[in-house]
């Protein structure tokens, strides 16, 4: 059966974030209990809507009327929070449905996370919610907080924490506890969240749904997420595409690498794809910023909220310590930024400001003199910010008591005199009162400052990467052109060839997709082979064709570089004999007579099915490279042309394609075209195709040819087709 | 002239760290001035020796008699601190020499860091000190501090900071300001320094001298360093060898990468060696731990001072948040640690302790239940610590008010019941008073704890790496066997062949060193070539030999795979003609007739001269690998056998050598032997040899052969030899 492409469904999610009334089922007066914490927080934080505590043991809670069940509430309820034992949850959710509740948050654990029994219970909730047209968050969720309107529908400790400002981060997490830690550390770092959502077991509302919903929230300038694994790659892709359109970055801490060996592998492509590599490729493809630590997330948020575009990679570093400057420069360059020599007029200006032994190069070293001379730092920042060969300025500033305020004012003035990103690095843990005050001034004036220089370098690199990616991808990704119906039908027919498909059949499929293949014909006798070889021209290759012999060489079913008819006839009998010896029951379709493709660069194109993202396209250098180095790149299908180009660019051995040892560069367009054709094929026929390997794909200075190919089709699909 | 191998010289350095009396030339009563800060600090910190302020404008300073010059001091002076203008420094240093001072610390700047004029002034200081048998620290130094006896001979701000305890780190820095920052952050992190030394311009006392000296200090358990570039690689190597012998780790923050293109490159080897790669190789070779951030240094120090050996890489992770545990596991594995499945009896024990939905696998997830159940953490730590398949335990602990103390005591008890490393991770920024107190208890009991889990993982990985390296290197590195004198003399003669040396001459040198080469003879006519080819057996290669034609193929001077005498005669004339056309003035030594070496794996062996470390040996996979990927490894000569083995293991394409595509594994011993021979050759003849390239070195399943070789000798050396 064809997999339904599940679309993002954000309908009704607004009732989580903007409910006019909230019921708490299992409410408690103890603010340390899950049923008590949101009640207390909603009241303390001044939630403006109505609050209905539900608990049969009380008639009043925290000054509010308490009802035995939600059905007893005399008013409409938009959102219900459920904090009761797992076995009682289905009944309560049923009551919510009858009450016409729009959104249900389930704190309770004891569902899919505990095993099959819990999974069944969870399935029940999903069904009740679906029929009642309600959205569920959880179960096993810490709940959510919308800071703009004090919807504190969470029992996380963090509801008691005063959020930092400005509140730009919409945070979504698959781990409640870790999400709480992120929120805590972000607050400490001065990064404010617009909302916090723990998706729990994702019975209904998934990570991607929340992301897509929050992208519409005007308060939310960027999305932060903690992800163990997407339930549905296609939905995550749709959310990411929306993020590109609205130009809001998504930052994800992604954990949970699966050992590569876990997946049964029957071809190169499959064995080379590790889950984590596929996520990595997906993130690059969609300009999702992958972060490893909470500090990376918060530093990015601080630079991002400045609103400036980090375009370009040329960084000027200004530091009061030579050592620190060099360390920063090393870090920047190792992250893909450039720290170019400062030249010309700017260099001259700098040497006017700096002591004779200071360095006017880059990093700019103010020397110890920079601490004594109140004007040096400002002058240097102004000079490099004005240099058109510099894209980004990173300046280390101290704020001595006798001129700290003046310096802060000057930096603010310089910052607002340019549109270039400027990042101030402070060692605020050194903090005197003056330093703290000056950092506050910078913050209030919108000038981004970070304590740690290396952290700042990383954030700058990630912002520069993000903006470069967004620009490269363009606003929105062009939809790939769909195949024409007749072509699709013909391909579907070809895909129902022998089971499995022989090389010859696979090549016909490729040819049909516009992928160039070697000239070749199928022979059923030595005489016919000899005739075909004469037509193709010697030397030729012979290959036994059988769906049952996938590894032809191993079975002795291949003879290469046959230069004469005598050689060919001898080889014909030999390889047929070998093949029959190796696989006596194999059905032999014939012997393929093939031109010898020589002198190009061998690459591999492939595709495999990822359980999360569906068809994934692979590219790698062939032969020894792929075997010794696993030097391959991936993208999720469908590919855009720039995806294909990125894949080619990304492999370590890309220089081989550019032409080494005096060879002409390989035809990169031919590779990109073939990758796009593979992408179209595996996308349109995602149900039929399990794996695809074109190995080798021989690339010449002009053009390219598939020399061997293997397509594994899906048994179920074949069955379905055969017995409609 | 042969380069003198400069040895470490630690003589007299004890007078810096343990002076019985200190004079401060340029003393000031203002404790914020360079001449005032050490005076105040020596008094405040209770330095027990005598202090002599020197300043002609005062007769008394800070309650001490002040003398106009050091010559007026009526007592012996062990150490003098000089803080006067640069131009006055030589005279003061001269006075120190006359006074019999043993050690001079020069704060003053204005020497080699400002240009040639300053360099001359600095040279003057060096000369005065040498003649007066005094050691100099600086000039342009922040000075030094020895915390054990309150020798605060520094004007760094950090003299005013209370050091943390225990004081195990001897810190040496080439950047004063950055060193101060390191000291500050380490103190904040609770890491104590035994001493702090800013080496400044290293006119006399170098970074490596200080390291070697501090290794003898019983207070110092490890060395931390900030290095921009070693003045003398051999000295740094000697210091590192001493560190291995005394089993004290050296941690270095190394900055200052030089663009790879800066060095003139005339062969593969030279063009592939970037300065930073050479440092990296040196660090690996000598088990020096390279760190990138200050936090890495302090985390390492905290784990190291526990005194436990981090042997093995199998880590158990125990965490209260599933997300955090997985994040930790990812980090550990990405750093080369392993997080193995927990099995058998331990697994059973864990499932007895954990809630049903907790994970008894690894990472162990206590779930939210772990916060409520006071015994769960301790039980789990005890269980995994007792598992023989686990080398290191990392446990995340919280300390709730109602049982924090009991938990801390339990962890301490468990810690001391095993010799296995256990690291407690706390989120101490969450810190309640209870948490702070419990962390203090752990600290006092010698149980290492770190706030940040990822930081802890990094420190664990670095300690495991260090201990693995130390074990692999063995205690002390075996001295390579020196060549026999006759062999050395013969080699020296061969190295004085044509200028430059032809391939044939280079091969004779290699042969003499025991490196296998292709069978080959030099022919001076086509007839002779034909006779030699008959003896060698067809197919053969012909190569024009001339010291003036280094790139024989480019000049058309090579013909390969000649299968018959007719082919050979035709090729002979052709390549001679080509060569003469390409280089009309070249002196042709003849034509090399060489067996065709085929069917092996092509690798490259090489050597180049590093300006800091001298001869460096290189290894790489040949052909396309080296050209497309720069897939090479380096070690500083001389090599030990394990160095050679590490080099082979280290390249990315090492799998190619292990035999892929059904090939037999390559003879790794043959490669290691050849690398050791190259190492001996370039070490013994370091003055004669500039560069060496064996490319390709063809490696078979058994044995190997140098197919082509190039040795560049040093013109000056040749000149010296020719005109003795």
Torsion sign over Cα B602, B607, B611, B612: positive
For an interface test with A, the pick among B227, B323, B330 (most A C-beta atoms closer than 10 Å) comes out as B323
Of A322-326, A592-596, B335-339, which gets the smallest average pLDDT?
A: A322-326
* ipTM confidence: 0.77
Contacts of B490 (CB under 8 A, 6+ apart): B512
pLDDT of A267 reads 31
Average pLDDT of chain A? 89
pLDDT at residue A301, rounded to an integer? 97
Question: In this prediction, what percent of chain A has a pLDDT beyond 90?
Answer: 68
Q: Between A40 and A487, whose confidence is greater?
A: A40
Q: What is the pLDDT of residues A98-111, one digit of tens each?
A: 999 999 999 999 99
Query: Which are the contacts of A354, defined by CB distance < 8 A and separation ≥ 6?
Result: A360, A364, A365, A366, A367, A369, A376, A380
Which run of H or E residues covers position A64? strand A64-65
The answer on pLDDT for B722 being more than 50 is no
The CA angle A430-A434-A438, to the nearest 5 degrees, is 100
Question: What pLDDT, in 10s, does the model give residues B359-385?
Answer: 668 888 887 777 778 899 999 999 999
pLDDT at res. B181: 87
* pLDDT for residue A264 is more than 60: no
Yes or no, beta carbons of B175 and A323 under 8 Å apart: yes
Mean pLDDT score, A229-250? 93
pLDDT at B717 over 50: no
- Find out whether the peptide bond into A539 is cis, omega within 30 degrees of 0: yes
The pLDDT score that the predictor gives to residue A715 is 66
Average pLDDT of the segment spanning B59-77: 96
A–B: how many Cβ contacts below 8 A?
131
For A394, the token pair is 């990173």
Coil, strand or helix: which one is A198?
Answer: strand
Digit-coded pLDDT (tens) for B241-294: 999 999 999 999 987 654 422 222 223 333 344 578 899 999 999 999 999 889
- Residue contact B256–A655, C-beta within 8 A: no
Of the candidates A682, A631, A337, the one whose C-alpha atom is nearest the C-alpha of residue A491 is A682
pLDDT band at B395 (very low <50, low <70, confident <90, very high): very high
Q: What is the pLDDT of residue B322?
A: 74
| pLDDT, greater one: B627 or A551 | A551
Structure tokens at B552: 């024989």
pLDDT: which is higher, A476 or B632: B632
Residue B629: its chain A contacts at CB < 8 A? 629, 652-653, 655
Residue B173 forms contact with A (CB below 8 Å): yes
Confidence of residue A260 (pLDDT cuts 50, 70, 90): very low
Contact A181 B327 (CB under 8 A): no
> Using CA atoms, how far apart are residues A557 and A577, in angstroms rounded to an integer?
8
Per-residue pLDDT tens digits for A277-309: 899 999 999 999 999 889 999 999 999 999 999
Confidence of residue A213 (pLDDT cuts 50, 70, 90): very high
* Nearest residue, CB atoms, A323 vs list B178, B184, B324: B178
- Banded model confidence at residue A359, pLDDT cuts 50, 70, 90: low
B chain contacts of residue A628, beta-carbon cutoff 8 Å? 652-656, 660
Contact (CB<8Å) B653/A253: no
Q: Tell me, what's the pLDDT at B500? A: 81
Say whether A177 and B320 touch across the interface (CB within 8 A): yes
| Cα–Cα nearest to B195, from B215, B175, B174 | B215
Residue A266 has pLDDT above 50, yes or no: no
Q: How far is CA B146 from CA B171, B220, B298, in A?
A: 10, 11, 19
Closest by CA position to A330, among listed B461, B227, B462: B227
**φ/ψ of residue A47, rounded to 5:** -60, 130
Residues 6+ apart with CB under 8 A from B546: B502, B557, B579, B583, B586, B587, B588, B589
Which residues share a beta bridge with A593? A521, A542
Give A598 to chain B, closest Cα distance, Å: 17
Interface of A with B in 578-597 (CB under 8 A): none
Q: Give the mean model confidence (pLDDT) for residues B676-699.
A: 94
From the list B109, B321, B357, the residue facing A113 with the nearest CB is: B357
**pLDDT > 60? residue A113:** yes
Question: What residues in A contact B427, CB-CB < 8 Å?
Answer: 181, 184
Neighbouring residues of B559: CB distance < 8 A, sequence distance ≥ 6 = B541, B542, B543, B571, B572, B574, B575
- Residue B718 pLDDT greater than 50, yes or no: no
Instruction: Give yes or no for B660 touching A (CB within 8 A).
Output: yes
Residues in chain A with CB shorter than 8 Å from the CB of B652 are: 628-629, 652
- Does the beta-carbon distance from A179 to B323 stay under 8 Å? yes
Interface test with B, best of A121, A255, A402 (most B CBs within 10 A): A255
- Mean pLDDT for the stretch of residues A156-179: 90
- pLDDT at residue B149 tops 50: yes
- Residue A721 reports pLDDT greater than 70: no
Cβ-defined contact of B114 to A177 (cutoff 8 Å):
no
Bridge partner residues of A54 (DSSP): A25, A67
Q: Do A177 and B323 touch (CB under 8 A)?
A: yes
pLDDT digits (tens, 9 = 90+) for B486-533: 778 888 888 887 778 889 999 999 999 999 999 999 999 999 999 999
Q: Which residues of A touch B628 (CB under 8 A)?
A: 652-656, 660
- A668-684 and A641-650 are packed helices; what angle lies between their axes, rounded to 10 degrees? 120
The pTM score is 0.85
Window B:596-615, CB contacts with A under 8 Å = none
CA-based nearest residue in chain B for residue A553: B661
Higher pLDDT pick, A708 / B478: A708
> pLDDT band for position A273 (50/70/90)?
very low
User: A-chain residues within 8 Å CB-CB of B398?
Assistant: none
CA A161 – CA B315 distance, rounded (Å): 34
Chain B contact probe: residue of A225, A628, A650, A659 with most B CBs at under 10 A: A628
CA distance B700 to B561: 19
What percent of chain A has a predicted confidence (pLDDT) above 70? 92
Task: State the best of B272, B327, B370, B432 to mutate against chain A, taking most chain A CBs within 10 Å.
Answer: B327
Q: What's the mean pLDDT in B68-96? A: 97
pLDDT at A400 over 80: yes
Q: Are B651 and B633 in contact (CB under 8 A)?
A: yes
How far apart CA A168 and CA A175 sit, in angstroms, is 21
- Residue numbers in B near A356 (CB within 8 A): 114
State whether residue B218 is helix, strand or coil.
coil
Instruction: Report whether pLDDT(A543) > 50.
Output: yes
Question: Mean pLDDT across the stretch A455-468?
Answer: 96
Q: What percent of chain B has pLDDT over 70?
A: 92
Tens-place pLDDT, residues A16-25: 999 999 999 9
Q: Is the pLDDT of residue B2 over 60?
A: no
Residue B650 to residue B466: CA distance in whole angstroms:
17
Q: Is A696 on the interface with B (CB under 8 A)?
A: no
- Of A471-485, B110-124, B617-631, the one with minimum mean pLDDT is A471-485
The reported pLDDT for the residue numbered A720 is 45
Q: CB A430 to CB B184 under 8 A? A: yes
Shortest distance, CA B417 to any CA of chain A (angstroms): 31
pLDDT of residue B256: 63
Bridge pairing between strands A449-450 and A520-523: unpaired
Could you tell me if B627 lies within 8 Å of chain A, comparing CB atoms?
yes
Instruction: List the 402-431 stretch of A: residues with Cβ below 8 A of B.
Output: 427, 429-430
Is A318 within 8 Å of A354 (Cβ atoms)? no
> Does residue A228 sit at the B interface (CB-CB below 8 Å)?
yes
């Amino acid at each position: 059966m064809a997999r339904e492409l599940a679309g993002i469904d954000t309908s009704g999610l607004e009732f989580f974030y903007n409910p006019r009334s909230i019921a708490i089922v299992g409410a408690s007066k103890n603010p340390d209990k899950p049923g008590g914490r949101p009640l207390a927080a909603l009241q303390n934080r001044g939630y403006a809507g109505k609050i209905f505590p539900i608990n049969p043991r009380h008639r009043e809670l925290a000054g509010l009327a308490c009802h035995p069940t939600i059905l007893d509430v005399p008013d409409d309820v938009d959102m219900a929070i459920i904090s009761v034992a797992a076995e009682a949850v289905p009944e309560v959710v049923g009551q919510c449905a009858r009450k016409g509740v729009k959104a249900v948050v389930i704190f309770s654990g004891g569902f899919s996370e505990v095993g099959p029994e819990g999974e069944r219970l969870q399935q029940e909730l999903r069904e009740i919610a679906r029929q009642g047209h309600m959205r569920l968050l959880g179960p096993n969720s810490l709940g959510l907080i919308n800071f703009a309107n004090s919807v504190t529908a969470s029992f996380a400790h963090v509801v008691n924490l005063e959020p930092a400002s400005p509140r730009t981060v919409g945070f979504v997490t698959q781990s409640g506890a870790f999400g709480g830690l992120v929120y805590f550390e972000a607050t400490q770092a001065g990064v404010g969240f617009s909302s916090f959502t723990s998706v729990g077991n994702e019975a209904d509302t998934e990570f991607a749904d929340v992301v897509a919903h929050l992208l519409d929230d005007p308060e939310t300038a960027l999305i932060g997420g903690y992800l163990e694994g997407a339930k549905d790659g296609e939905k995550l892709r749709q959310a990411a595409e929306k993020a590109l359109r609205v130009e809001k970055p998504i930052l994800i801490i992604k954990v949970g690498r699966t050992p590569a060996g876990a997946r049964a592998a029957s071809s190169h492509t499959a064995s080379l794809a590790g889950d984590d590599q596929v996520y990595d490729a997906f993130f690059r493809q969609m300009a999702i910023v992958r972060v490893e630590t909470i500090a990376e997330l918060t530093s990015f948020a601080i630079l991002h909220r400045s609103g400036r575009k980090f375009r370009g990679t040329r960084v000027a570093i200004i530091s009061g310590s030579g050592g620190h400057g060099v360390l920063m420069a090393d870090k920047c360059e190792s992250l893909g930024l450039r720290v170019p020599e400062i030249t010309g007029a700017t260099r001259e200006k700098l040497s006017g400001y700096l002591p004779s032994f200071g360095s006017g190069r880059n990093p700019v070293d103010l020397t110890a003199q920079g601490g004594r001379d109140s004007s040096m730092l400002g002058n240097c920042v102004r000079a490099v910010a004005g240099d058109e060969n510099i894209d980004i300025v990173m300046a280390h500033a101290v704020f001595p008591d006798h001129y700290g305020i003046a310096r802060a004012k000057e930096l603010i003035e310089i910052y607002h005199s340019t549109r270039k990103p400027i990042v101030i690095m402070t060692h605020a843990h050194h903090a005197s009162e003056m330093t703290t005050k000056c950092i506050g001034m910078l913050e209030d004036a919108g000038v981004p400052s970070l304590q740690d220089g290396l952290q700042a370098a990383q954030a700058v690199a990630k912002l520069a990467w993000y903006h470069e990616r967004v620009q490269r991808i363009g606003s929105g990704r062009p939809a790939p052109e769909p195949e024409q119906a007749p072509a699709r039908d013909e391909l579907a027919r070809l895909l129902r060839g022998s089971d499995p498909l022989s090389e010859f059949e696979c090549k016909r499929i490729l040819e049909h997709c516009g992928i160039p293949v070697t000239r070749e014909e199928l022979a059923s006798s030595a005489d016919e082979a000899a005739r075909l070889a004469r037509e193709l021209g010697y030397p030729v290759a012979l290959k036994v064709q059988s769906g049952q012999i996938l590894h032809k060489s191993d079975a002795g079913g291949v003879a290469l570089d046959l230069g004469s008819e005598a050689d060919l006839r001898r080889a014909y009998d030999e390889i047929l004999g070998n093949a029959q010896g190796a696989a006596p029951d194999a059905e032999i379709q014939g012997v393929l007579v093939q031109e010898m493709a020589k002198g190009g660069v061998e690459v591999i194109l492939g595709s495999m099915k990822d359980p999360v993202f569906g068809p994934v396209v692979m590219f790698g250098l062939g032969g020894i490279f792929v075997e010794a180095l696993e030097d391959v790149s991936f993208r999720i299908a469908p590919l855009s042309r720039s995806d294909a180009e990125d894949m080619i660019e990304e492999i370590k051995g890309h220089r081989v394609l550019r032409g080494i040892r005096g060879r002409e560069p390989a035809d990169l367009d031919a590779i990109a075209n073939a990758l796009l054709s593979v992408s179209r094929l595996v996308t349109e026929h995602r149900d039929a195709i399990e794996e695809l390997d074109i190995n080798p794909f021989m690339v010449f200075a002009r053009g390219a040819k598939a020399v061997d190919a293997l397509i594994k089709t899906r048994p179920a699909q074949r069955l379905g087709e055969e017995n409609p």
